[in-house]
Amino acid sequence: MSSSKEKVPAYEEVIADLLRSTTGPVSAKELAEKLLAVRPSQARNPLQAMRQHIRQANGRLLVFLDADTVLSLRLAFQGARFRLPLDREMINKGLVNIVDSLPYYLPLNFPLEQVRFVDSAGKPVAFQIKPVSQQVNTLFGHQDITTLYANLSDWLRAQKVNAKDHLLITILDWEQGVMQLAREPFGQRNQGLLAQRNRLMADLFFDLLESAVDEDIYAHVAVPTIYARLPDKSGYPPGHWMIVLEEDGRMISDGWRIHYSDGGFSPLEQLAREIAGEPQHPAARPVSKEQREQVYRFKAALAYRPNLWREIEVQGKQTLADLDLLLREAFNHDVFDHLGGFWKLIPRGIQGKPGVTKRGAARQARYREVKLGHVEPMGGGEGARIRIAELELAIGDRLKYVYDFGDWIEHHLTLEAIETPQASVKYPREVARNQPEYVYCVECQKKGKQKVAKWICLECTTGPDHEIMLCEKCADRHEEHYLEEILY
């Protein structure tokens, strides 16, 4: 065995040892100091190196309550509660699917045969593990998939469980896999409180996603983190986290990762949707007559030359194809060649949070990009038929438009106003543009004449101090060269 292979678990073992005796949250700094005392380090900044080892244990041994405080996984799950809905079929057969629901609430790779259930009096609930084979349609044909069920028929019968009842589960001992079962009759359910608990849980997941560096988080980190942060995790139980996320709608999970639901599907989700025969693209959103007529005024600017802008207006019933054509014309792009593409820019995380100053927010402003679709010249493309009103934009919202995926000419659009249309005006249209800062033809200047340059010869240009700007006529002598039109 190589020494580098031994090194990684060694740190984990020390961290696990240090956490075993804790009874509550621990400061990450203190834990790093204790780790350093056991395992002296040659690193230039030893404490920082230890903090890195602690970060690597996130979701494996511990979770972060905040940036400086950690809690062992065992304590994060201690007393945590969740619920599973029961349906007629489950009750008739007495079988509860444990493969899809329990592993998230157990240590990694915990053998399901070793799970122990107890009732509210602490007495063991007898059950057998029952493997059930099912034929499943996959892209590779019919496949037999074996799922483990807990046969709880005796207990369910004794409890007189009904179809709309819930199974309440409390984690008594996460390391040993001991869980308490209780029945919540439908009539005793506090629907208002349950909705409130579920919303709180969903908000905690969403906050975690919003503050993540990437645009996804891992379930094995997120679930214990949420329980560690949930006030009163032993109180009225929220739903199983996957059901909570599905009902909330802002996020989507394949059971492994959690990401924004408007960010498209992961390959795994795509596969599941194909097998289930679900559409790959959401259907068009309904738009009212009023929304169809509304005029959206955008300020569009080149991303790398924000002084070069156009103000444009487009109606709600008009499409991204119409907007694409208008932008091509306004910025002198070729209308017959190259693709155009649109994204919605959505602020993430720190922005708009209480306690964050405007300047702080601007400095830390982060956007995620939700792809809306591309538009082919002369129509076509996945985004072409999307109507502006379907984008559900509010004043201040931003879009990104890229013309030509090869040269990647990026534009930022900001929605400045939504107004009622004027009777005599034909939309879409350009309403204003920046004052042009003209540059003049270098050839004509040599002859003492001032003529506005229309082209830049990229072959004769040698640098910013020697840019060959040319008028239409002088450009004729460079016709074999690579000329680019100057935008004003």
Q: Which residues lie near Zn ion (CB under 5 A)?
A: 441, 443-444, 451, 457, 459-460, 471, 474, 478, 481
For Zn ion, the closer of residues 390 and 443 by Cβ is 443
Question: What's the closest the beta carbon of residue 436 comes to Zn ion, in angstroms?
Answer: 17
Asked if residue 150 lies in contact with residue 158, where contact means CB atoms within 8 angstroms, the answer is: no
For Zn ion, the closer of residues 26 and 456 by Cβ is 456
In angstroms, the CA 343 to CA 263 distance is: 11
For Zn ion, the closer of residues 305 and 449 by Cβ is 449
Question: What's the closest the beta carbon of residue 331 comes to Zn ion, in angstroms?
Answer: 24
C-alpha triplet 164, 238, 247: angle, nearest 5°: 75
Question: What's the closest the beta carbon of residue 433 comes to Zn ion, in angstroms?
Answer: 24
For Zn ion, the closer of residues 418 and 460 by Cβ is 460
Q: How far apart are the two ends of the chain, measured CA to CA in Å?
A: 66
**DSSP H or E run through 33:** helix 28-38
Question: What's the closest the beta carbon of residue 476 comes to Zn ion, in angstroms?
Answer: 10
Asked if residue 470 lies in contact with residue 439, where contact means CB atoms within 8 angstroms, the answer is: no
Question: What's the closest the beta carbon of residue 486 comes to Zn ion, in angstroms?
Answer: 13
For Zn ion, the closer of residues 411 and 451 by Cβ is 451
Question: What's the closest the beta carbon of residue 463 comes to Zn ion, in angstroms?
Answer: 14
In angstroms, the CA 190 to CA 294 distance is: 43
Question: What's the closest the beta carbon of residue 425 comes to Zn ion, in angstroms?
Answer: 38
- Beta strands 178-184; 116-118: pairing state: parallel
Q: Between the CA of residue 111 and those of 73, 307, 443, what are the distances in Å? A: 18, 63, 81
The number of helix segments (H) and strand segments (E) in the chain equals 15, 23
In angstroms, the CA 228 to CA 224 distance is: 6
For Zn ion, the closer of residues 31 and 444 by Cβ is 444
For Zn ion, the closer of residues 125 and 474 by Cβ is 474
Q: 421, exposed or middle or buried, with CB in 10 Å at 0-12, 13-18, 19+?
A: middle
DSSP conformation letters of 165-216? -EEEEEEEETTTTEEEEEEE-GGG--HHHHHHHHHHHHHHHHHHHHTSSSSE
Question: What's the closest the beta carbon of residue 249 comes to Zn ion, in angstroms?
Answer: 57
For Zn ion, the closer of residues 265 and 440 by Cβ is 440
For Zn ion, the closer of residues 100 and 484 by Cβ is 484
Q: Which residues of 280-297 are buried (b: 16+ CB within 10 A; e: fewer)?
A: eeeeeeebeeebeebbbb
Q: Can you say how many angstroms the Cα of residue 198 is from the centroid of all Cα atoms in its chain?
A: 19
In angstroms, the CA 171 to CA 173 distance is: 6
Q: What are phi and psi of 212, to 5 degrees?
A: -70, 150
C-alpha R_g of the chain: 30
For Zn ion, the closer of residues 16 and 460 by Cβ is 460
Tokens 């025969």 -> residue: 277
Question: What's the closest the beta carbon of residue 399 comes to Zn ion, in angstroms?
Answer: 36
In angstroms, the CA 362 to CA 324 distance is: 29
For Zn ion, the closer of residues 297 and 481 by Cβ is 481
Question: What's the closest the beta carbon of residue 472 comes to Zn ion, in angstroms?
Answer: 8
Question: What's the closest the beta carbon of residue 471 comes to Zn ion, in angstroms?
Answer: 3
In angstroms, the CA 230 to CA 238 distance is: 10
Question: What's the closest the beta carbon of residue 295 comes to Zn ion, in angstroms?
Answer: 41
Sequence-separated (6 or more) residues with CB below 8 Å from residue 268: 254, 256
For Zn ion, the closer of residues 76 and 468 by Cβ is 468
C-alpha triplet 102, 105, 107: angle, nearest 5°: 105
Q: What are phi and psi of 19, to 5 degrees?
A: -80, -25
Question: What's the closest the beta carbon of residue 407 comes to Zn ion, in angstroms?
Answer: 20
For Zn ion, the closer of residues 429 and 477 by Cβ is 477
Asked if residue 323 lies in contact with residue 388, where contact means CB atoms within 8 angstroms, the answer is: yes
